[in-house]
Structure 1
Amino acid sequence: MTQVDLIIKNAHVFNVYLRKFQDVQVSIKNGKFYWINEHLPNLTTKQVIDLRGKYLIPGFIDAHMHIDSSMTTPKIMGNAILRYGTTTIVADDHEVTNVAGIEGLKDFISEDSPIDIFFGIPSSVPSTNNQMETIGGKIGIAEIKDLLDDPRFICLGEVMNFKDVTSKNDTLIKNIIRICRKQKPTMPIEGHTPAYHGEDLAKIIFNGVTTDHTQQTGKLVDEKIRNGMFVEIQLKSMHPDVINTIMNNNYYEHVALVTDDSMPDTLLKGHLNLLVRKAIKMGMTPENAIYISTYTPARHMGLWDRGAIAPGRVADFSIVDNLQELSISEVYKGGISEKNIIKNTSSTKFIPKSLINSVQAPKLSKKDLILKTILVDNGIVTANIIQINEVGTFTNHIQRQLKVHNHIVDWQANGLALIMVQERYGLNKGKIALGLVDRGIIGDGAVGATWCHDHHNIMIMGTNIAGMINIQHQLLEQQGGYIVTKKDRIVANAPLPIGGVVSNEPLSTLGSQIGKIRKTLVELGYKNTNEIMSFSTLSLLVSPTLKISDKGLFEVKSQKKISLFELNKN
């Protein structure tokens, strides 16, 4: 007789290898699945669970996400998402790395978590270069070699710099990819390849990038898969043309669902389970939706000990009452109920030393935000403007003719918002860059944050200058955060004291704070499917088309600096 820890009877058990449910019994020993069969003779156990026809599925695996982009810590993240069935994640924590380098990264990932966390090596810190943005840390060859020796790092995090990846020169990112290939030949090279196709896509793949997770269309998914890429589908890419492309071409082996950036208020509702449920509602069979959230991400990341209910695999699983609704009644991690795991988790606040007191910039006054031009004294200038889209994080580059009086530009009369980015690391005396935004804040108010991808300087946008100044002063006082004003009064505030990007408050508190910021942005006329991420990626210099940093405006693909004003051509 063989002693096991747990036997589960009368369940419909999902077999990822057959991609179907089977009525079998499941045994668990030492935190792993032991024997799965219709009958389990010769086994003895102290605990038997009778599921009475419920469903058993493997724990979800999120192969591409950012803990720090959810503004929370590894432990709080794990406690939040374990109850939704996510038992393993691969996190690329390049936000804290941009703030405080490898020391900040190591401090941040030192916190224990109730789920299994593997990591991607931040490949693009900075996301572009020091001529385009100021950051607090840097990842170079020495840091890459250091992290390659850590078995927790199983992939190269998203490679963002298209220009350097495809350059004819021997660039830093090319050397990073080469070192990873030499030391760990099977390591996935995650990519950030938004809207690239044709020869541009061929160049990216040719230079070693194996994966993409960015905003997709059905046509892009098809082209990438046909050219050998593994495609990670996040929520903003779950459109009918994308899902239909996967289903119609039976592309399940080549895709996985991922969360990428989960906002704190969203985490109060769910995690990867929300994407699986949506895929089912969009016509994907439950079997295929579960398959691309368990087995394919595990296989892609080389995590051969999980992603399946099979002998020797880690006993991570969820009990599901209804497949169509994906209603999860209980989750087990390593054969232990999540209720017992979370109950035994301490609630001590996480305070990593290298990420405290990181916001260092001088206070601004209203005169710092007067928009001037030397091109004309009185007359008209052409302004290069960031235009926000209602879906996703891409922007448009538009131009408007604005009146000038005594060198001061009248942007208020054109329904625009002023945007300001200030260097916050004490490296450039708090230098600021100004720009203009169309379809941003429409009402009387402002929004500002130090959670500004990926350089995480201070970025503030608004129509009310006093409100913008109040935000800047408050961000300095509380060492980072996300703040919104109506007129000049602060009405929503989410402090982020860890590196200016992360809170150590309970998720219920942080989620409520971010939810209020989102609600206030909507009230001020901001329109986007994810208002929080949309604003904070106006500074992301690798996401098309026109973005801003403390160094000014940049056209993303060419990395060309764009002047805010030009002489009127008429």
Structure 2
Amino acid sequence: MEELISISLGEKAPEIVIKNGTVFNVFTKKLEKVDVGIHKGYITSYGDSIKVNQNTRIIDANGLILVPGFIDGHIHYEVTKLSITMFAKLVLKYGTTAIISGLDETYSVLGKRGIEETINEVNSIPFTLFWGVPSKLPYTIPSSTLAYELGYDQASELLNKNYSWGIWETVAEFITNKDTDVMRSIILANNLHKPIFGCLPLANNSKINAACLAGVRLDHESYSPEEMYEKARRGMYVMIRESSVTHFLKKNIAIIKEFGIPTDRVGFCTDDVYAKDVIVHGHIDKVVRMAIEEGIAPEDAYRMASYNVSNMYMIDSIVGSISPGKLANIIFLEDFTKVKIKGVMSKGILVSWNGNYIYKFNPPTRPEFMLTTFKNARKISENDITVKAKGEKAKVLAIEVNDENPFRRKGKIFEVKTVSGEVLADPEKDLLYAVVVERHKGTGKVGTAFVTGFGLKEGAMASSSAPDDNNIVSVGTNKADIVKAVNYIIENNGGMSLVKNGEIILSLPLPIGGIISDQEPEKMAEIENKFDKITKEMGSKLSSAISTMTFLPITAIPDYALTDKGLVDCIKLKIISPVLA
């Protein structure tokens, strides 16, 4: 601290001075011609005549505009299937220098040790992660099976850690049901002056009132501008989400353009992204570009991608602006309106220039516990996928999926003939099997149901990356291929698989916790595209059938989901039979 103050006073020279650039000041919303001094990763000086010496590195930013590094306001980074080091490599050159994440997928399979390993890893690279303690795990109601659960006893310890910044994903039902663990965690977080991050999809006004009363400071999960407006007018900060899966910006930007909510109450997030999309379209830079195209002033769009997010999460003393005392997270722009990035600096390290990385990303050696998470997994047989019914005919409820909103799953009723008292999949009617196989505690539980909308005419697919419980989820046209796909994942300690006629035709290893890998982002994107291409050849009309499948266990969003416990009615919050009559 003393050294940094000496530099800011001009008594000593900083390691780096950025000269001749134009800085976007998020406080004045003006472009200012100033120099920036940087030392040991922090901005020390802002203005003219910054002291230099023979060791000072000068970066000439003539003709460039400097804006604060982008912050993704809510992301499950594990959905990329990349380790945090390789995720940073995916997004840094697009200007994202910090993220807010709950690491809930990591905790569900690796527990507290997995969180600490991830935080130590991210602290060793030029990237910043602000971790929120999950409100409770599992999120699923009724509870699914995880390797590690999180209640108040665990949350109270973690909230007191200096590496936690609040409570993540405070699901509306935990508040309205007055869940004891969550209530106690909220009280503790309030006492520690750490914010509550909400998860309030499709919430009515009563639920929003209750969440505000519980202290929820912000929310990222709005499905319409009207819903978002009701949250904002009750005092919540809100985030516009634009992900690989759900595309809400063009619709929800109306909260500013039509409903008149001030831009400083709004931030940006992605929630879930895939390497294949980031490499083509960008990350938060894409969201800023879209907002500007929708008529938001560039000055406001850049604030929504940086300062606004830092303010709502109460981390604005660390990130969100180019000002003394903040991390030197800086984007060098060639074009302010088109968001054309020349280079990126993170934690005072120039990581990329002209779209190429200068910094070398080297993932750490992984401890054994992170690579052996299938010790309790039990292989399945075709008998585990049996759905019995009485009579010659049956009415079956299938979970219906679509590309428009993969999270919002309705139900569709099929009338089918039974075979020897069993309901079988019928690919011609787009009625497929779906299973979730418990792999954490050796319970042997297999949740079985039916799905429609996938369109597969043959084969099966499976994945152990499957938020939020990360058991093995599989969808297929026949039992034999599902068994092959699931058991292959168990045999290989995690991953994704695609099966046709009893043969593995494509696979993706996910050795770290069964959910992520140290794969290069470009290679990950290549494999993701192969899965999409082949599943379309197998009949699917979805843009990404395997990605849609991985979200089947999420119960926080109506109407139906599937966990290892069975088919879940997400409105009544109970397990139901897929056979109605």
TM-score between the two structures when normalised by the length of structure 2: 0.90
Q: What code does the residue aligned with 1:425 have?
A: H
Change (3 A) 1:335 1:260: same
**Correspondent of 2:295 among 279, 283, 301:** 283
**Correspondent of 1:257 among 258, 265, 268:** 268
Q: Which residue of 2 aligns with 1:558?
A: 572
Question: Counterparts of 1:241 and 1:506 in 2: how far apart (Å)?
Answer: 34
1:349-364 equivalences under 5 Å are 349-359=364-374, 360-364=376-380
**Correspondent of 1:401 among 387, 410, 415:** 415
Change (3 A) 1:362 1:312: closer
Contact 1:61 1:294 in 2 (8 A): yes
1:258-337 equivalences under 5 Å are 258-269=269-280, 270-303=282-315, 304-337=317-350
Aligned-pair distance for 1:81?
2.0
Contact 2:568 2:576 in 1 (8 A): yes
**Correspondent of 1:74 among 66, 84, 100:** 84
Change (3 A) 1:170 1:468: closer
Contact 2:77 2:84 in 1 (8 A): yes
SS in 2 for 1:110: helix
Contact 2:86 2:363 in 1 (8 A): no
Question: Counterparts of 1:458 and 1:538 in 2: how far apart (Å)?
Answer: 11
Gaps of 5+ in 1: none
Give yes or no for the alignment of 1:366 onto 2:382. yes
Q: Which residue of 1 aligns with 2:4?
A: none
Aligned-pair distance for 1:105?
2.5
Give yes or no for the alignment of 1:421 onto 2:436. yes
Q: What code does the residue aligned with 1:181 have?
A: N
SS in 2 for 1:520: helix
Contact 2:75 2:270 in 1 (8 A): yes
Q: Which residue of 1 aligns with 2:447?
A: 433
**Correspondent of 1:192 among 183, 199, 208:** 199
> Deviations along 1:229-267, whole A, 9 cap, x unmatched?
111222124343311322341431111111212223234
Q: What code does the residue aligned with 1:214 have?
A: E
> Deviations along 1:262-289, whole A, 9 cap, x unmatched?
2232343432222222222222222111
**Correspondent of 1:485 among 499, 511, 514:** 499
> Deviations along 1:491-521, whole A, 9 cap, x unmatched?
3211111111111222233232222223323
Contact 2:89 2:361 in 1 (8 A): no
1:49-198 equivalences under 5 Å are 49-111=59-121, 112-128=124-140, 131-160=142-171, 162-167=172-177, 169=178, 171-182=180-191, 184-185=192-193, 187-198=194-205
Question: Counterparts of 2:295 and 2:560 in 1: how far apart (Å)?
Answer: 36
**Correspondent of 1:221 among 190, 212, 228:** 228
1:342-353 equivalences under 5 Å are 345=360, 347-353=362-368
TM-score between the two structures when normalised by the length of structure 1: 0.91
> Deviations along 1:418-442, whole A, 9 cap, x unmatched?
11111112331x2212111110143
Contact 1:26 1:33 in 2 (8 A): yes
Contact 1:76 1:113 in 2 (8 A): no
Question: Counterparts of 1:425 and 1:148 in 2: how far apart (Å)?
Answer: 25
Change (3 A) 1:74 1:41: closer
Contact 1:391 1:528 in 2 (8 A): no
Change (3 A) 1:355 1:73: same
Sequence identity percentage: 26
SS in 1 for 2:251: helix
Question: Counterparts of 2:40 and 2:437 in 1: how far apart (Å)?
Answer: 53
Question: Counterparts of 1:41 and 1:426 in 2: how far apart (Å)?
Answer: 60
Aligned-pair distance for 1:57?
0.6
Question: Counterparts of 2:321 and 2:287 in 1: how far apart (Å)?
Answer: 19
SS in 2 for 1:96: helix
Aligned-pair distance for 1:101?
2.4
Q: Which residue of 2 aligns with 1:25?
A: 35
SS in 2 for 1:180: helix
Gaps of 5+ in 2: 1-9
Give yes or no for the alignment of 1:456 onto 2:470. yes
**Correspondent of 2:396 among 383, 390, 399:** 383
> Deviations along 1:82-102, whole A, 9 cap, x unmatched?
222112222210012112322
Question: Counterparts of 1:529 and 1:272 in 2: how far apart (Å)?
Answer: 22
Question: Counterparts of 2:463 and 2:325 in 1: how far apart (Å)?
Answer: 46
Once the two structures are overlaid, the 10-residue window that deviates more, 314-323 or 405-414, is 405-414
Question: Counterparts of 2:575 and 2:132 in 1: how far apart (Å)?
Answer: 30
Change (3 A) 1:213 1:276: same
Contact 2:381 2:483 in 1 (8 A): yes
Structure 1's consecutive aligned runs of 4 or more residues displaced over 4 angstroms after TM superposition are: 41-45, 339-346, 527-532
SS in 1 for 2:410: strand
Aligned-pair distance for 1:471?
0.6
Change (3 A) 1:232 1:97: same
Give me the CA root mean square deviation: 2.4
Q: Which residue of 2 aligns with 1:509?
A: 523
Question: Counterparts of 2:72 and 2:441 in 1: how far apart (Å)?
Answer: 36
Change (3 A) 1:35 1:106: closer
Q: Which residue of 2 aligns with 1:466?
A: 480
Contact 1:447 1:468 in 2 (8 A): yes
Aligned-pair distance for 1:450?
0.9
> Deviations along 1:426-478, whole A, 9 cap, x unmatched?
331x2212111110143212211111111111111011333212211210111
> Deviations along 1:186-245, whole A, 9 cap, x unmatched?
x22111111112212222222232222124211111111011111122212434331132
Q: What code does the residue aligned with 1:138 have?
A: E
Contact 2:430 2:454 in 1 (8 A): no
Question: Counterparts of 2:551 and 2:574 in 1: how far apart (Å)?
Answer: 18
Give yes or no for the alignment of 1:411 onto 2:425. yes
Aligned pairs, how many? Answer: 557
Aligned-pair distance for 1:487?
4.4
Aligned-pair distance for 1:7?
3.3
> Deviations along 1:301-328, whole A, 9 cap, x unmatched?
2221321112222221011112233111
Once the two structures are overlaid, the 10-residue window that deviates more, 66-75 or 533-542, is 66-75
Change (3 A) 1:16 1:504: same
Q: What code does the residue aligned with 1:23 have?
A: K
**Correspondent of 1:442 among 441, 453, 456:** 456
Q: What code does the residue aligned with 1:273 have?
A: D
> Deviations along 1:101-124, whole A, 9 cap, x unmatched?
223322333323321222111222
SS in 2 for 1:566: coil
**Correspondent of 2:209 among 202, 206, 231:** 202
